[in-house]
């Protein structure tokens, strides 16, 4: 099973700068995309947003057997948001 963590970009302050404002609430794979601090005095941050679990074929078959459903009904991955 592959696990990928996703993060959400949070632009802080009443008036986020022009660099960070368009990034506000964008979601990126951990380690990819823009990272704060993008500029001097940047107060933005990236917070944990979700965990994505990707199943291989053997795991999908085990899940389908455990629940008595057709393997085609088992999604290739699930996306679980935090909080």
Quick one: 4 or 42, whose CB is closer to Zn ion?
Answer: 42
C-alpha span between 13 and 8 (Å, rounded)? 16
Q: Are 63 and 74 in contact (CB under 8 A)?
A: yes
DSSP state of 81: E
Quick one: 34 or 64, whose CB is closer to Zn ion?
Answer: 34
Report residue 71 as tokens: 């393997």
Q: Does 20 bind Zn ion (CB under 5 A)?
A: yes
Quick one: 20 or 74, whose CB is closer to Zn ion?
Answer: 20
Question: Taking contact as CB under 5 A, which single stretch among the options 24-32, 44-52, 55-63, 66-74 is the one that binds Zn ion?
Answer: 44-52
Among 8, 44, 46, 49, which residue sits at the site for Zn ion (rule: CB under 5 A)?
44
Cis preceding linkage at 37, omega within 30? yes
Q: Which residues bind Zn ion (CB under 5 A)?
A: 20, 42, 44
């Amino acid at each position: 099973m592959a696990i990928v963590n996703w993060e959400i970009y949070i632009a802080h302050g009443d008036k986020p700068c022009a660099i960070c404002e368009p990034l506000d609430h964008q979601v990126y794979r951990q380690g990819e995309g823009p990272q704060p601090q993008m500029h001097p005095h940047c107060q933005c941050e990236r917070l944990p947003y979700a965990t994505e679990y990707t199943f291989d074929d053997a795991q999908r078959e085990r899940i389908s057997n455990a629940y008595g459903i057709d393997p085609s009904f088992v999604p290739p991955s699930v996306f679980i948001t935090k909080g």
